[in-house]
Homo-oligomer: A and B are copies of this chain.
Amino acid sequence: MSLFADLLSTVFDRRYRGATEPDRKNRSIEELCTDLISNAGEVSGMALARLILDRYAAMEWEEKRAFFAHLTQDQGIDTAAMRAALDGFEQNPGKASYRTLMDLAEPPRQEIARRLNQVPGATGQLVEMRADLLRMTDHNPEFEMLDLDLRHLFSSWFNRGFLVLRPISWETPAEILEKIIAYEAVHAIHSWDDLRRRLQPADRRCFALFHPAMPNEPLIFVEVALTQGVPDSVQALLADGRAPLRAQDADTAVFYSISNCQAGLAGISFGNSLIKQVVADLSRELDGLKTFVTLSPIPGLTRWLEKQGRTMPLDPLAQRQITAHYLVHAKRPDGGPVDPVGRFHLNNGALVHAVHAGADTSENGIRQSGGVMVNYLYDLAQITQNHEKFATSGTVAASSEVRSLAGAVALQDA
């Protein structure tokens, strides 16, 4: 099928490129972009778009920088024309004046991106292009305007309604599995055997979101363990040689790793809908599941303690108390929680359910949080309410146990 599709597009390309390319060889990529949007019809648009993407793919870093500079400087909005159109619309509001205004209120580079996207496979290439761009914005802050435009487009293209949730299992094509290995960002997957241990046992699940135009590229994925009771150690959860549970005997689903895959989709959030849909799917599949929790790292804990001039205590209870305090009370100047993982789950409507000392004894776990981990609980009946309180008043939802742990600490917060 995919082979067949390849063949067809090859034939098409060959014939079509033959017909159109010659006279464009000497045009710069900047000229080609201008051609692309000046061209009224679609006929040569696709060939042009492909040519531009091919040129881009072959560029060195500095050429890419020059290309982005062109898009930033020469393909942005024309403020004078926009102001005139605004005047025109105010004086005579209607279809014609509105169309003129809307056309001018959008920079040409957005239309360039849309036309590039006509080519089969272009979506992934444009996501890659934004990843390149993001690597340059530190040194080229002016590119942030271009980035805003791409992000605006991508929000529309990667709308939740267009995404597809697929289970990832040992039956999944190797091509996708090798990306799961590469993209795992929380607890590294060391080999295909390691991957198999996370996918094949009866008490393991994995799910990813995909976009139909990038069918082999997961956007985000979550790894799930089915357990009896809420786990308090990631090493125990992932231990080699453990005896798997029968799925129907599990009462708890644990989201122990969530990884974003595409640097070029930074700022476009999928995690919330991923988790909610997985909760719904697993509920349906397994009647016995009653509890949906994470077993999450606390990446900001050590750093925060240092800023406070404190160190992690040795006593496990004291570790849990100070961690609970951090998760519930430590806030940024904007009022949001200091911990980034906490921000994500709390904004999704989860609550801080429990904290565990000695839960991640890996080097990374010790370094970032003294080995402490946290469970965030997803209770569908309370998600909306939790989220709304969090979004409007910054209230961190927490279990009574966590609240009581947090209250035991007298600390002057940052």
Contact = CB atoms under 8 A, between A and B. Distances in A.
A249 interface: no
A152 B11 contact: no
A102 B148 contact: yes
Interface in A231-248: 248
A361 interface: no
Contacts of A117: 159-162
A177 B283 CA distance: 31
A47 B122 CA distance: 32
Contact of A172 (B44, B161, B173): B173
Contacts of A281: 8
Given A83-B83, A277-B12, A42 B162 contact: no
Interface in A97-152: 98-99, 101-102, 105-106, 114, 117-123, 141-142, 144-145, 148-149, 152
A20 B386 CA distance: 12
Given A86-B86, A161-B119, A171 B11 contact: no
Number of copies: 4
A395 interface: no
B79 A384 contact: no
A39 interface: yes
Contacts of A42: 160, 269, 272-273
A272 B41 CA distance: 9
Interface string A152-178: 110111011110100101111111010
A285 B123 contact: no
Contacts of A381: 15, 18-19
B20 A384 contact: yes
A73 to B, nearest CB: 11
A95 B160 contact: no
Interface string A17-47: 0111000000000000000000111111011
Interface string A182-208: 000000000010001000000000000
Contacts of A41: 272, 347-348, 387, 391
Interface of A: 1-4, 7-12, 15-16, 18-20, 39-44, 46-47, 77, 79, 82-83, 86, 89-90, 93-95, 98-99, 101-102, 105-106, 114, 117-123, 141-142, 144-145, 148-149, 152-153, 155-157, 159-162, 164, 167, 169-175, 177, 192, 196, 212-213, 216, 248, 269, 272-273, 276-277, 280-281, 283-285, 347-349, 380-384, 387-388, 391
17 contacts: A3-B167, A8-B281, A12-B276, A15-B283, A16-B380, A41-B391, A42-B269, A43-B388, A79-B89, A95-B141, A98-B145, A98-B148, A99-B148, A122-B161, A157-B162, A162-B212, A171-B216
What 8 pairs across the A-B complex have the smallest Cβ distances? A12-B280, A212-B212, A105-B105, A43-B387, A95-B144, A118-B160, A171-B173, A98-B145
